[in-house]
Amino acid sequence: MSKIIASAAIRGARTLVEKAEISLAQALESKGKEAEIAYPNTAYYLPIMLLFLGQRVKKIADLTESLAEAKKLLGPVPQDELWLPYLGDALNAGVAALIAEEIIESLKYCMGSQAGDGIWLGFTGDNILRMQGIKLVDGRMPGFAAIVGAAPTAEEAVELIHGLQERNILVLMAGNSRGVSIAEQLASQGIEMNWDTFLVPFGKEITAAVHALNFAARSAMTFGGIEPGDISSTRQILTYNKDRVHAFVMALGSDQDADNGSQENLLTDEKYATAAGAINFGFPVISDINIPEILPSGICTYEHVVANVPLDKIISRAIELRNITIRIEKVPIPVPYGAGFEGERVRKENMHVQFGGKYTDAFELLRMKKAEVIEDGKIELIGADADKMEEGSACPLGIVVEVAGRKFQEDFESVLERRIHEFISCANGIFHMGQRSIIWVRISKDAYKRGFRIKHFGEILVARIHTEFSSIVDRVQVKIYTDNQKTAELLREAKKIYSIRDDKIGGMTDEDVEDYYSCTLCQSYAPNHVCIVTPQRLGLCGAYTWLDCKASHEIDKHGPNEPVKKGLCLDPVKGQWENINKFVDVKSNGNLKIFNAYSIMEDPMTSCGCFECIACIVPECSGIMIVDRDFTGMTPIGMGFTTLAGQIGGGIQTPGFIGIGKLYISSPKFVSAEGGQKRIVWMPKNLKLEVEERLKPRLEQMGLSDLFDKIATEEDAEEPDKLLDFLQQKGHPVLQMEPLF
Ligand code: SF4
Ligand code: ZN
């Protein structure tokens, strides 16, 4: 153990504790000791205190106790002649540093100095933790890098970050070097930073690095199911992180001084102390600066501190160090490629050219063909390439993928086609939204400058379809159309095919089949949730119809979709079957004994969190309102979509509320136990437009052809009284129906 690190860590922890003491004194003075203290959206109080002290901090006075504990952990600063053979003192100092940082950061929320802080995101709520943390646990994100400091130049910062994104490594950022932070360097280069792009800037001061560790602590409590509160759980949580969360700290600060060529050490004592805190979690520290190394592995699985690594080698060294398994998608295109780019947007100012949206014709279609007519890997462009397109313009685009395989069936077409969105989105600088004939695609100026051309869409699809579907696809070829007339022509053809596919499922009834399908894909984070997908009720995410599940089962027999024999029908109106009950009992780990597919009130289906829409009761009129994800306004029950979503996720039955896919709204089985579509009283205008084409014929079938116009939107009513007025005025039939309570 290096005494230099130990003394720096202890000195740093002392400084942080002093700063925390000052912040706390100020807060006590201005807010008083009874003032509440909490991070937003978490059930784990101040997670660092909960982890290390078993303390549930609720008010400012509690922080006095936390601070006292931190002080106890501060050992004496070792003198030069002192040799420390173990990490103990530095590790304790690291814990003290984290406690101090948690005090400082949480007080920012109490004092109101955190809100609206430019690019900085601050504390991560449990809702995001649930969505993102699971990716770390199940391996979709192989690990995270907590970067403190800055790269020598903004260009090098971008280079480094792209390398991490390409490997799907989550990047958390805090602190600065000489007043510059890596997040600011990225912002100056127009890089989008948020949870969707795997780039999360916590705060400019080093104290914000504590958010990476309180995130890690909560991951163990949430996913590892470890109940915090005593010494043994502290150890369990730290071990969980060491074993399962492949994280490392990247301490940047190298700076060549132009005048004398000397390398200045920009790691402050406070950064050392924070790094020592991270070592407690088993997270090693890697740096581009010449700091003392701690090589023998003890607490960490590997070395604790590795220094002096050149920036261009730092990622590969970190991966080795933390034993991270990386699956890089090798796609032959001139821009970086990886899941980290999936959620990235391309803004209008940064756009070279766009396709579809509301501007031009655009579609994508995947078709099965005979092997003889497919030349594997062939990519054809019919029309102009991107270099012939005017900057900022909108052009038509048709992507036609043709596949062949001995085991391929026509039913698989839509399953593969739906993946095109994900495959294309993963290219850096390419934006893709929607599917079928509602796609919207943009190529950024930067991607264009790097040499991205239209044929690269084809390269991506050929490569990804071969890796993902090798069991059913032998050959792939892609034809891309940018020619106006040709695209319009093919779009008409494509629309016919889409509608044939829809009719195929549209014509099927639940009575027609013996097997329904289960979907347990979402169990990775909602472990007690299971979707039962029937021909007339698709999965609540809207992505899985009965046919999709069937195809997906045939592609992967051990995948998340299995056929379930429905068995004896116990209640045809509510939609209850003997075997389905037994199946959900087992798959929900005993949480669900009875399940009704067509009821909103009685033992309804559970929700995982990724529902396309939420349907719920409006008590004032015993009607049902439906709200979709894209609607950001207020609904007549006084809750927006996000608030509602928070109430019904997590795999529990919530009578009165169900998560549903959009297609279910026009299904003959739509809450038929409660009277079906006749109960619909409210929908956002856009959703109503979207489902109109299917809902109107259904209403006609029910002899309610005038009902569509009696369904209110946000333009008619945003509160229950107004809604009731509207319904009365229109003579909505729900007013004549039996009340639900
Ligand atoms: Fe499967 Fe969709 Fe249901 Fe999740 S929500 S379990 S992906 S059908
Ligand atoms: Zn889900």
Residue 531, ligand 1, Cβ within 6 A: yes
Quote the radius of gyration of the chain (alpha carbons, Å): 28
Residue 610, ligand 1, Cβ within 6 A: yes
- Of 290, 322, 354, the residue at which a domain comes to its end is 322
- Give the pLDDT confidence of 427-455 residue by residue, as tens digits: 999 999 878 888 899 999 999 999 999 99
Q: What percent of the chain has pLDDT over 90?
A: 63
- Give the pLDDT confidence of 323-338 residue by residue, as tens digits: 777 766 678 999 989 8
Q: What is the pLDDT of residue 263?
A: 44
- The token duo for 601 is 């009130």
Q: What is the pLDDT of residue 137?
A: 66
Q: What is the pLDDT of residue 115?
A: 55
Residue 519, ligand 1, Cβ within 6 A: yes
pLDDT band, very low/low/confident/very high, at 154 (cuts 50, 70, 90): very high
Same domain, 183 and 87: yes
* Ligand 1 site-directed mutation target among 521, 533, 614, most atoms within 8 Å of CB: 521
Would you say residue 498 lies in a domain?
Answer: no
Same domain, 267 and 349: no
Residue 522, ligand 1, Cβ within 6 A: yes
From the CA of 540, give the closest atom in ligand 1.
5
pLDDT band, very low/low/confident/very high, at 299 (cuts 50, 70, 90): low
Residue 540, ligand 1, Cβ within 6 A: yes
Q: What is the pLDDT of residue 329?
A: 67
Query: Taking the CA of residue 454 as centre, how many other CA atoms within 13 Å lie in the half-sphere pointing to its CB?
Result: 26
pLDDT (average), residues 296-311 = 73
Would you say residue 333 lies in a domain?
Answer: no
**CB proximity list for 627: less than 8 A, separation 6 or greater:** 613, 614, 635, 641, 644, 683, 684, 687
Q: d(Cα 216, Cα 102) in Å, to the nearest integer?
A: 14
Would you say residue 330 lies in a domain?
Answer: no
pLDDT (average), residues 298-305 = 66
Same domain, 540 and 638: yes
Enumerate the β-bridge partners of residue 238: none
Same domain, 605 and 690: yes
Same domain, 563 and 677: yes
Residue 544, ligand 1, Cβ within 6 A: yes
pLDDT (average), residues 13-32 = 96
C-alpha angle with apex 125: 39 to 25, nearest 5 degrees?
A: 15
Q: What is the pLDDT of residue 258?
A: 35
Q: Which residue has the higher pLDDT, 5 or 514?
A: 514
From the CA of 560, give the closest atom in ligand 1.
1
- Give the pLDDT confidence of 254-283 residue by residue, as tens digits: 554 333 434 445 578 899 899 999 999 999
Asked if the model's pLDDT at residue 168 lies above 80, the reply is yes
Q: What is the pLDDT of residue 291?
A: 73
Asked if the model's pLDDT at residue 667 lies above 50, the reply is yes
* Ligand 1 site-directed mutation target among 517, 519, 663, most atoms within 8 Å of CB: 519
Same domain, 710 and 597: yes
Q: What is the pLDDT of residue 260?
A: 40
Ligand 2 centroid from CA 656, angstroms: 19
Which CATH number covers residue 464? Answer: 3.30.1650.10
Q: Which of 680, 651, 674, 528 is nearest to 600 (CA)?
A: 674
From the CA of 543, give the closest atom in ligand 1.
2
Ligand 2 centroid from CA 122, angstroms: 27
Which CATH number covers residue 40? Answer: 3.40.50.2030
Same domain, 343 and 259: no
Residue 543, ligand 1, Cβ within 6 A: yes
Lowest mean pLDDT across 62-71, 220-229, 413-422, 725-734: 220-229
Q: Which of 212, 201, 223, 198 is nearest to 130 (CA)?
A: 223
Would you say residue 290 lies in a domain?
Answer: yes
If phi > 0 it is left, if psi is from -120 to 50 it is alpha, else beta; for residue 431 that is: beta
Number of domains the chain contains: 3
Q: Which residue has the higher pLDDT, 19 or 246?
A: 19
Query: Atom 2, ligand 1: which residue's CA is nearest?
Result: 541
* Ligand 1 site-directed mutation target among 520, 538, 544, most atoms within 8 Å of CB: 544
* Ligand 1 site-directed mutation target among 562, 583, 608, 613, most atoms within 8 Å of CB: 608
pLDDT (average), residues 591-600 = 93
Query: Atom 5, ligand 1: which residue's CA is nearest?
Result: 541
Ligand 2 centroid from CA 261, angstroms: 55
From the CA of 531, give the closest atom in ligand 1.
3
* Ligand 1 site-directed mutation target among 525, 531, 562, 587, most atoms within 8 Å of CB: 531
Q: What is the pLDDT of residue 542?
A: 83
Q: What is the pLDDT of residue 5?
A: 62
- Give the pLDDT confidence of 519-544 residue by residue, as tens digits: 987 776 577 889 999 999 999 988 78
Q: Which of 394, 411, 387, 325 is nearest to 353 (CA)?
A: 394
Q: Residue 677 sits in which domain range? A: 510-736
Q: Where are the alpha helices (DSSP H) in 190-265?
A: 210-223, 231-244
Q: d(Cα 28, Cα 22) in Å, to the nearest integer?
A: 10
pLDDT band, very low/low/confident/very high, at 170 (cuts 50, 70, 90): very high
- The token duo for 437 is 């004939």
Q: Which of 156, 146, 101 is nearest to 245 (CA)?
A: 146
Query: Residue 273 in contact with residue 257, Cβ under 8 Å?
Result: no
- Give the pLDDT confidence of 176-209 residue by residue, as tens digits: 998 999 999 999 998 989 888 889 999 999 999 9
Asked if the model's pLDDT at residue 224 lies above 60, the reply is yes
- The token duo for 676 is 């079906």
Same domain, 528 and 482: no
Would you say residue 485 lies in a domain?
Answer: yes
Q: Which residue has the higher pLDDT, 703 or 4?
A: 703
Asked if the model's pLDDT at residue 602 lies above 80, the reply is yes
Phi, then psi, of 623 in degrees rounded to 5? -100, 180
Same domain, 284 and 343: no
**DSSP letter string, 409-469:** -GGGHHHHHTTHHHHHHTBTTEEEE--GGG-EEEEEHHHHHTT--THHHHHHHHHHHHHHT
b/e per residue 611-639 (b: at least 16 CB within 10 A):
bbbbbbbbeebbbbbbbbbebeeebbbeb
Residue 154, ligand 1, Cβ within 6 A: no
Q: What is the pLDDT of residue 262?
A: 42
From the CA of 542, give the closest atom in ligand 1.
2
Task: Please give the mean pLDDT across all residues of the chain.
Answer: 89
Q: What is the pLDDT of residue 41?
A: 85
Q: What is the pLDDT of residue 223?
A: 77
pTM over 0.85: no
Residue 521, ligand 1, Cβ within 6 A: yes
Asked if the model's pLDDT at residue 479 lies above 80, the reply is yes
- Of 423, 458, 493, the residue at which a domain comes to its end is 493
- Give the pLDDT confidence of 605-635 residue by residue, as tens digits: 998 777 889 999 999 999 999 999 878 899 9
Same domain, 607 and 556: yes
Instruction: Tell me if residue 612 falls in helix, strand or coil.
Output: coil
Same domain, 469 and 560: no
Instruction: Tally the residues of the chain.
Output: 741
Ligand 1 centroid from CA 549, angstroms: 10
Q: What is the pLDDT of residue 300?
A: 57
- Give the pLDDT confidence of 63-113 residue by residue, as tens digits: 999 999 999 998 776 655 344 445 678 889 999 999 999 999 999 999 988
Residue 38, ligand 1, Cβ within 6 A: no
Asked if the model's pLDDT at residue 514 lies above 90, the reply is yes
Asked if the model's pLDDT at residue 477 lies above 60, the reply is yes
Which CATH number covers residue 519? Answer: 3.40.1470.10
Ligand nearest to the CA of 610: 2
Asked if the model's pLDDT at residue 117 lies above 70, the reply is no
Would you say residue 314 lies in a domain?
Answer: yes
Ligand 2 centroid from CA 659, angstroms: 10
Would you say residue 293 lies in a domain?
Answer: yes
Would you say residue 117 lies in a domain?
Answer: yes
Same domain, 286 and 400: no
- Of 443, 464, 493, the residue at which a domain comes to its end is 493
